[in-house]
Amino acid sequence: MTSTGEDEKARTAITPSLAVLFDAVLFDRDGTLVVDEPYNSDPELVVPIPGAVNAVATVRRAGVRTGVLSNQSGIARGLLTGSQVEAVNRRVDALFGAFDVWEICPHAPHSDCRCRKPKPGMIFAACRELGISPSRTAFVGDIGSDVDAARAAGAVGVLVPTAVTLAHEVAQSPLVAETLDAALQLLLDICATPTLGQAEVPLRQQGLAIAQSQWQHDPKGALRPARSPR
């Protein structure tokens, strides 16, 4: 566990350097920026993950743009309306400051859309809107489909596990961090190796150590409890 002082030192180091590697850092919404409230239609239930507001502010101080990409299958399921999702997103903007780009997939898990993660459509759309390359983009999320979408887009994906992250998702993710601050530090660390591939093994081992120390695996491979489809 890092102290508040150590976190502040890390943020200070990140601030001048992140823009050298990245034009944008994109985030998953539920479970990454805010507490995952399944199919949330109430802006008053939006609660930031501890440290998330500061982490996003750190990215912005570096001159790097920010965005949010979120699967919202509750719309297709009839559990939410598009207007309700937009109201929740406005609350997120109010708490974090306005993000430069939002991309929402309203489709059901088995639809043949191009936007639902793990497909890369939302990353491509966000990059088009910002006028940047996916190769200079990072995407931070809490489940395997987030990392898979980043990989498919040619972006850098970082997994920040939560209680619903599956064990195999942690094991298969090249970059795994305990917190959003640690995720930002990993984005800087990759420049210390010629290729991301050479960094994968130690970082994956670090992620597994995090998972084993913080969560108890159930027989089905989940790190406590089963998650709702997003």
Q: Where are the beta strands (DSSP E) in the chain?
A: 24-28, 65-71, 101-105, 137-141, 156-159
Considering the candidates 30, 36, 146, 148, report the single residue annotated as catalytic: 30
The yes-or-no answer on residue 42 being catalytic is: no
| H helix runs in 25-166, sequence order | 52-61, 82-96, 121-130, 144-153
Between strands 137-141 and 156-159, the pairing is: parallel
Eight-state DSSP code of residue 14: H
Closest residue by Cα to residue 211 from 219, 220, 221, 201: 221
The yes-or-no answer on residue 30 being catalytic is: yes
- In the sheet with 65-71, reading across from the earlier edge strand, the strands are 101-105, 65-71, 24-28, 137-141, 156-159
Instruction: Mark residue 78 as left, alpha or beta (left: phi above 0; alpha: psi -120 to 50; beta: remaining).
Output: left
Considering the candidates 28, 36, 146, 181, report the single residue annotated as catalytic: 28
Element (H, E) at 16: none
Cα–Cα distance list, 114 to 87, 89, 154, 160, 224 (Å): 24, 22, 16, 24, 30
Residues taking part in catalysis: 28, 30
